[in-house]
């Protein structure tokens, strides 16, 4: 590996796990700084780390702190990301700038995939990925997460994508980029707050071990790029589809009226939906990320046991 010691700092705990080929699960930080309000954001971030430990893996929450890419954060650093107002949102294009300018930045799915891959972590858990926005045919707003899934070899466990996006186009784009979309115990691409979207996934796999074997094949064949594992929100927390659809429509209208675009759009929509559902969307969000962290840890454990990689 090239000497990147001045830009990347892996915590001693994560370093040790990686050295021993023990299972590690990466976690993103945009969800902390821009995806959830305080104090639910810090509570969730810490509880995800606990969930991963309980499943026998080591958590590695990733962010940029004063220009250093940190793999594995202290509680103090998580607290900073949860409270500070000037934390940037770092996707692929932002990483070199926030590092060189010594800024604090939360990493998106794309940003976290890059950092996880640099550190040698093959799997990462999040809530929802970015995707093709509705109206992308005129706005060109397609999240860099999709390109990243096409090029960086990290498996991303999510609850599908939110209906703020154009889900059929998001799936088309993933196909173009060569990303396998796997449904964990489901035939349907989950729609984040609800378990169904009416859209089929490419493959259904019912066991963590089967997903770990796909990761191993992709590596062995040197195909490159990521894998998207979609895990539907647990039944008991899933929201009524009509209710969430109404909130999404209203949030989109509000965004248009306020001229919100670019990297501000996703956080704006998330916040509006939370407001419009009286906080119900926030509790659903917390539960689904927890479920994704648990599944990612199971896959990481299974992957660490796949022979001859």
- Could you give the residue numbers annotated as active site? 28, 162
Task: State the Cα–Cα distance between residues 79 and 123, nearest whole angstrom.
Answer: 24
State yes or no: residue 127 binds ligand PSU (CB under 6 A). Answer: yes
- Least Å distance between CB 97 and ligand PSU? 16
Smaller CB separation from ligand PSU, 211 or 282: 282
**Neighbour tally for 185: CB within 10 Å:** 11
- Least Å distance between CB 142 and Mn ion? 7
Task: State the Cα–Cα distance between residues 228 and 205, nearest whole angstrom.
Answer: 12
Kindly determine how many residues on this chain lie close enough to bind ligand PSU according to the rule CB under 6 A. Answer: 18
Asked whether the beta carbons of 106 and 70 are under 8 A apart, the reply is no
Q: Pick from 94, 141, 145, 298: which binds Mn ion (CB under 5 A)?
A: 141
Q: Pick from 87, 109, 181, 228: which binds ligand PSU (CB under 6 A)?
A: 109
Selection from ligand PSU, Mn ion, none that 194 binds (CB < 5 to 8 A by kind) is none
Q: CA dist 182 to 172, 187, 292, Å?
A: 14, 9, 13
Selection from Mn ion, ligand PSU, none that 35 binds (CB < 5 to 8 A by kind) is ligand PSU
State yes or no: residue 128 binds ligand PSU (CB under 6 A). Answer: yes
Smaller CB separation from ligand PSU, 56 or 279: 279
State yes or no: residue 145 binds Mn ion (CB under 5 A). Answer: no
State yes or no: residue 290 binds ligand PSU (CB under 6 A). Answer: no
Task: State the Cα–Cα distance between residues 61 and 57, nearest whole angstrom.
Answer: 13
Smaller CB separation from ligand PSU, 23 or 128: 128
Selection from ligand PSU, Mn ion, none that 274 binds (CB < 5 to 8 A by kind) is none
- Least Å distance between CB 130 and ligand PSU? 3
> Going residue by residue from 139 to 158, which x/- string records binding to ligand PSU, judged by CB under 6 A?
----xxx-------------
State yes or no: residue 162 binds ligand PSU (CB under 6 A). Answer: yes
Task: State the Cα–Cα distance between residues 212 and 298, nearest whole angstrom.
Answer: 9
Q: Which of residues 164-193 bind ligand PSU (CB under 6 A)?
A: 192
State yes or no: residue 238 binds ligand PSU (CB under 6 A). Answer: no
State yes or no: residue 226 binds ligand PSU (CB under 6 A). Answer: no
Q: Which of residues 1-30 bind ligand PSU (CB under 6 A)?
A: 28, 30
Chain positions contacting Mn ion, by CB under 5 A: 141
Chain positions contacting ligand PSU, by CB under 6 A: 28, 30-31, 35, 91, 108-109, 127-128, 130, 143-145, 162, 192, 263, 266, 270
């Amino acid at each position: 590996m090239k000497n990147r010691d001045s830009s990347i700092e892996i915590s001693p705990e994560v370093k040790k796990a990686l050295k021993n080929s023990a299972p590690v699960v990466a976690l993103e930080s945009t969800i902390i700084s821009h995806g959830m309000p305080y104090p639910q954001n810090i509570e969730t971030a810490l509880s995800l780390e606990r969930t991963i430990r309980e499943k026998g893996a080591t958590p590695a929450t990733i962010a940029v702190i004063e220009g250093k890419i940190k793999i594995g954060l202290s509680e103090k650093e998580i607290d900073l990301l949860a409270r500070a107002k000037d934390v940037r949102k770092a996707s692929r294009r932002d990483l070199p700038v926030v590092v060189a300018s010594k800024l604090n930045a939360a990493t998106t799915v794309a940003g976290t995939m890059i950092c996880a891959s640099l550190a040698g972590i093959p799997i990462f858990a999040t809530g929802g990925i970015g995707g093709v926005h509705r109206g992308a045919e005129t706005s060109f707003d397609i999240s860099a997460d999709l390109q990243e899934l096409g090029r960086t070899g990290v498996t991303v466990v999510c609850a599908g994508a939110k209906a703020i996006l154009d889900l059929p186009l998001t799936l088309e784009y993933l196909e173009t980029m060569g990303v396998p979309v796997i449904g964990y115990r489901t035939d349907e691409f989950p729609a984040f707050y609800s378990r169904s979207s009416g859209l089929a996934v490419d493959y259904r796999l019912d066991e963590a071990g089967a997903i770990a074997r796909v990761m191993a094949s992709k590596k062995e064949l040197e195909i490159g790029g990521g894998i998207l594992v979609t895990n539907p929100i647990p039944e008991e927390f899933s929201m009524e589809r009509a209710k969430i659809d109404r909130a999404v429509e209203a949030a989109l209208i509000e965004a248009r009226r306020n001229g919100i675009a670019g990297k501000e759009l996703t956080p704006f929509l998330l916040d509006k939906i939370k407001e419009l559902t009286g906080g119900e969307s926030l509790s659903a969000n917390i539960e689904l990320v927890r479920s994704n962290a648990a599944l990612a840890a199971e896959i990481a454990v299974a992957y660490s046991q796949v022979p001859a990689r």
